[in-house]
A and B are shown apart, each in its own frame.
Chain A
Amino acid sequence: MLFILSYVPQVHSLSVEKQEILAALTLNIARFTRWPEQIMNSPDSTLNLCIFGDNIVQESFTKINNKTINNNVLQIISISRLRNLKRCQILYLSELERNKLTPLLEELKEHPILTVGENLAFIKAGGMIGLELVQGKIQLNINLPIVKQAKLTISSRLLNLAKIFDFTPPGTAPQE
């Protein structure tokens, strides 16, 4: 009996499952982002967060539904097809093959949609924010030119915590 108990993983509040962290981080990133005036002050005052991913990803975001972000309410929309994306203010893309990701992000640039993905390759494909697992912790990667192109602004408090990239795909390697 002691043998089994000694293997029960210690529960301390600083060790959490990856998908839960990514959802909580996305909520916080949204809090530090400003969209163009007409979106932030729109009559229905909702910010749509579209989630593209399997049922595990979609479920991890249900907990942040209806949370307030400044003057708006976060509305989670689970999508299983990459259509009708202009209604999203934030687009979370989990596990999309590179050959589909690059043309999609190309089509979305200059639209005021904050794109969030789960690794560094997401940045290289044209994404704005890549959340990557590095040595047991999530690292925040932000590609500023793409953010600016979409007329979005991210607060400096968040930028100071992130690894900033400065390039415009395709082709050229990222420079820090």
Chain B
Amino acid sequence: MSLDVAATAAQVSTMAQQLAAHAARMKPVPDFARALLAQWHASHAEAVAYLEGQEQAGVWPFAIPIEPMLTVRRVPAEPVAYAVVAADGSQIDVDSHGLVHCCLVNVGWAAIAYGDRPDAWLANEPAVLHEDRELFVEADDGMREASESQLSMLRTVAEMERLALVAEAWRDRPGLVAIADGNLVRWELGGKKPSASSAALLHRYLGALAQLRAARIPVCGYISRPNARDVANTAALLAVRDCDRGKRAVCDRCAGRGDRLCESLRVLPDRDLFPHVRVGECTGLFRTPATVLQHYAPDDRIVFCYLRTAEEMARIELPAWCTGKQELNAILSAVYGQCLRGHGYPVALMEAHEQAVIHTGGREAFRQLVLAALNENQLEAAISSKRLSKDQRAV
């Protein structure tokens, strides 16, 4: 049957009313947050000491400022000659109703050089995963089929490994910077007791990061329109400390509100916190006390900042060894230059994505290849009754 539009409309209307009420409640929150940041900007050492004390509590993801809260850094001009490499991936998930239990991971990359010798290398490499050791992971209750999120972790690891390989191949290019798509903190592979398969994936990921460090190729992760709330959570933590010395009694600031301002802070994205950062500037650096970073080599532990481009506030993550003046300048100028060249998004990441993406035609080609290979080997090529039923839509 088709969708009951009338029933849906009533719910959408309720949703919109609630969103409007939420927006009204949130209106004073950004100003409150910025006032807090300004206050703690002046007491940097005290803020750091307090936050480091909170580190063990591990309640919320938050950030510890490496530099005073409101630090602003002007991004240096894009070098005349430099090079970037970027990698991205996509996948065809395991279809348990399909022909064979297998999946495909396609990693694409783009290496682009600017200056006297402009050059580009765009390519991709698919990997078909079909063996049990690739598609099943160890769980508490024995072997279990890898979930979609576990396969996407595998893809993320493959992307970082490819990034390191491509960067190595281009290491002689002056001013080379490696850009990964998304964050470099692998929260999903951490936790108190990571499974053997997660630990193995993390080991591979960290190996690739170490490879880039050994080759002295600055690397960063670029996150477009980030939803992270680490700095907002930090502001909330600091606000709670000041809120009646942690007793959390309702103070004057929250009088007349149904909720506390310091708690509302936690739903504010970090990107709304830095109106003082202008286009072509970035915030100071923050480090994140994520437990997974304990598995990272100290030099590879991830720090981040926010960079304002003409179009948006982007988050840049980088390993600690890249915070040296030379590496940081190389990363910021390359990333910002890439955004200027690429309609607001790094050109190399866009091209790596275009290399990786598997369109409908590619998906169908993969299905046909599998079908032909099964036929050639006299293997049964059957789809489930459920898939057949969905495809046929018989009346």
Partners in one complex: no
Name A residues whose Cβ lies closer than 8 Å to a Cβ of B: none
